[in-house]
Structure 1
């Protein structure tokens, strides 16, 4: 299939598909444990909760909320993101995380609550993009707004 004389020549490095030590940002052990706890806690409050909820952006691309909460008619009303936090100059999500937050806000509007959870469990921010110290991310971290 890969015009390669060996049978397995077309396969990429399959070792890169695994994260045995949970060090990757997405889906790592810490990330997953926070996600599972959020799903459990929010579900216990009687909320309609799903992990890895797809959010369609205005340009047709998509982002995934780590935990999304929907109302009775299925609209997303709350998105929980888990990621890296920068502490220099005050706590704020990393540039990559800020790009995701801005894309989600643009797609879902101002009425949706966005909650950002630090992977080191130091701080949780509610609607960080509405804070006075919000810093725009680099355009390279945006899926929408710069297409």
Structure 2
């Protein structure tokens, strides 16, 4: 799979998602191709975001945060596996910025770091696929 989006603006995406109370990701994950890309990178079918979002409502979005933190940790492991220099996203980083940094810029910083790691992983996978092909 060739990844087309290797320069996603994480802070802007995080700001948009924060302003829309998570509704932005309900559309962005499936229609922006992000959910499929995560499945490909992590080599497994991840839980759909809409399910994590719905389960987050009665838990004050704690479930959604845990879901995102788990994906962040798996993405960090993939970046390490590919030999990509840090800093990377992580479970600790995601939870820390989204709780302690809330309601200021914490969620946007966490999303920025997440997409920075994702962009670098996708660019490296593209480079390896091009070299192998």
TM-score by length of structure 1 reads: 0.26
- Greater strand proportion: 1
Structure with larger RCO (C-alpha < 8 A, sep 6+) = 2
